[in-house]
Amino acid sequence: MRFILRILSWIYGAGVWLRNMLYDEHVLHSFKPSIPTICVGNLAVGGTGKTPHVEYLVRILQENGYVVAVLSRGYKRRSVGFVEANKDSTAASIGDEAMQMKLKFPDLIVAVCEDRFLGIRRLQRLHPDLQVVLLDDAFQHRRLRAGYYILLTQADRLYVEDDLLPLGRLRESAQGSLRADMIVVTKCPDNVLPIDLRIIDNKLHVPPSQSLLFSRMSYLDLVGVFDESHKTSKINKINRVLLLTGIAQPHYLLEHVKSLAAEVYSLDFPDHHAFTEEDIRRIERAFDEEHCDFIITTEKDAVRLRESASFPERLKPHVFAQPIETVFLNDDKQTFNSNILHYVGKSKSDR
């Protein structure tokens, strides 16, 4: 089976190589927007932490007075074309990640569009004061040429140690990393040692023209899914927790919750899963049968749970989402902020 997957990955890789070569040789044309544009992406499928890094960018840019928009594809939404988030938006209409972003930053401009270049042009027409566009997961969207590329890779699964689909998780070969301006190694352990960072540095062999930074996930106080004013940090070793996830890599959150609670029972669904009535009944049965005190889920899953009309009222006070934030290691926060603000400021002054 592995041999067959290897052959399929070679075929897939040949197709990706040809497409990239056509763009690199300008046979296929890329279009550069007339506005500072920052792309956050990866070479692998799912799970590298794009959303927390986009949220970090939103915070530092808004704190520095910039009018910011986030544009994504809107994965698994039921709509097509350009859609801007508003008070009536749902995960079904714009996708769960875009909905999560809008709920967390109500004043942020959030939109989805399959064609990112057309999406940016539409945003500029609708918002003449727009100053920066953040692209969530558009590293392989070669039709658009962003002004600044941030490539993410997991500390425990670097792109140089992975294989192309379907044998591995790579959408394109490690050669694609050369298009990035900055590479961020994400999900570093809290207790990572300097020698570990040097080993990663040597493995990636990043050229001098690129910045190499390191980040980790920070788990914040839990927030009520159905009542956001209900917050707690009081999960402890006497509690029994049902961990409910529909994400690509739930093991990071599982390990975190295990460190807090006496017992953890995990209920996993596919990434971006739309919860059905049968799923909700399954969740309710697991909560009761395991005598759980809490249900903990991700922010992305919380968006979809809130939209379920069949979720039992009696369980709602027990359901909490686990917010996470990006934290940069050592002096990398200063480097990251400086590079981003320099790019946006320079791009603005050049226009």
CATH at residue 178: 3.40.50.300
pLDDT of residue 233: 60
Cα–Cα dist 117/170, whole Å? 24
pLDDT of residue 346: 83
For residue 299, pLDDT beyond 70:
yes
pLDDT of residue 79: 93
Q: Judge whether 17 lies within some domain.
A: no
Reading the block at residue 45, the tokens are 């499928």
Q: Judge whether 11 lies within some domain.
A: no
What average pLDDT is seen over the chain?
94
Q: Judge whether 162 lies within some domain.
A: yes
As a whole number, mean pLDDT of residues 150-178 equals 96
Give the tens place of pLDDT for each residue, 65-102.
999 999 999 988 999 999 999 999 999 999 999 999 99
Beta carbons of 232 and 203 less than 8 angstroms apart: no
Give the tens place of pLDDT for each residue, 22-35.
999 999 999 999 99
For residue 111, pLDDT beyond 70:
yes
Q: Is 7 exposed, middle or buried (0-12, 13-18, 19+ CB in 10 A)?
A: exposed
| Residue 173 and residue 269 in one domain | no
- Is the four-CA dihedral 160, 23, 94, 119 of positive or negative sign? positive
Q: Which residues contact 345 (CB under 8 A, 6 or more apart)?
A: none
| Residue 192 and residue 238 in one domain | no
| Residue 90 and residue 235 in one domain | no
CATH of the domain at 263: 3.40.50
Give the tens place of pLDDT for each residue, 306-349.
999 999 999 999 999 999 999 999 999 999 999 999 999 987 65
As a whole number, mean pLDDT of residues 100-107 equals 95
| Residue 164 and residue 283 in one domain | no
pLDDT of residue 30: 93
As a whole number, mean pLDDT of residues 209-215 equals 97
pLDDT of residue 348: 64
pLDDT of residue 231: 65
| Residue 35 and residue 179 in one domain | yes
User: What predicted TM-score, i.e. pTM, was given to this entire model?
Assistant: 0.94
For residue 140, pLDDT beyond 70:
yes
Q: Judge whether 98 lies within some domain.
A: yes
2 pLDDT band (50/70/90 cuts)? confident
Give the tens place of pLDDT for each residue, 32-68.
999 999 999 999 998 889 999 999 999 999 999 999 9
232 pLDDT band (50/70/90 cuts)? low
pLDDT cut 70: percent of the chain above it = 97
Q: C-alpha 327: how far from its chain's center?
A: 14
pLDDT of residue 46: 80
Q: In terms of residue numbers, what domain contains 113?
A: 27-218+327-349
227 pLDDT band (50/70/90 cuts)? confident
DSSP 157: B
Reading the block at residue 185, the tokens are 């190694």
pLDDT of residue 185: 98
| Residue 34 and residue 68 in one domain | yes
pLDDT of residue 120: 97
237 pLDDT band (50/70/90 cuts)? confident
Overall number of domains in the chain = 2
Could you write out the DSSP letters of every residue in 16-68?
HHHHHHHHHTTSSPPB--SS-EEEEEESBSS-S-HHHHHHHHHHHHHHTT--E
| Residue 95 and residue 158 in one domain | yes
